Structure 1
Amino acid sequence: MRPESRPERPRRVHRTDWMALLCGLLFIGMGIRYLTGPDPDAVIMAPILVGGLGFAAFVAILAKAIRR
């Protein structure tokens, strides 16, 4: 089949999933932190994890509200 005779397909665009993106970056950052240098204190890292997940949820809710 020649390229000129192929029918055009509409381009599919995906919306950014901010919750997944920010949570993934948070866990990658925490993993890098644990792999490099001395182990961080769990008493400090637990609130950072919970706060980061809360921030990601807040951004995801704002993005969903703005899209509508």
Structure 2
Amino acid sequence: MKGILSWWDGVELWLSGLGFVVQTVVVMPVALALAYLVAVLLDGALGNGIRLLRRDKHADGDPS
């Protein structure tokens, strides 16, 4: 764990030494990729949850 934390401290130090525009160019693709991944995972989880709720509702005999 110490190695990962040391590496991350080095990345932060390197990133903070860059200019604002360069920081934005480096950080935005990573942030957008992570946001997209979280959105896809949430979409799948919520879609499956809704599907299960509908299946349970129809199994109870409720026609709506």
Task: Give the TM-score, by structure 1 length.
Answer: 0.38
Structure having the larger proportion of residues in helix: 2
Question: Highest relative contact order (Cα 8 Å, sep 6+), 1 or 2?
Answer: 1
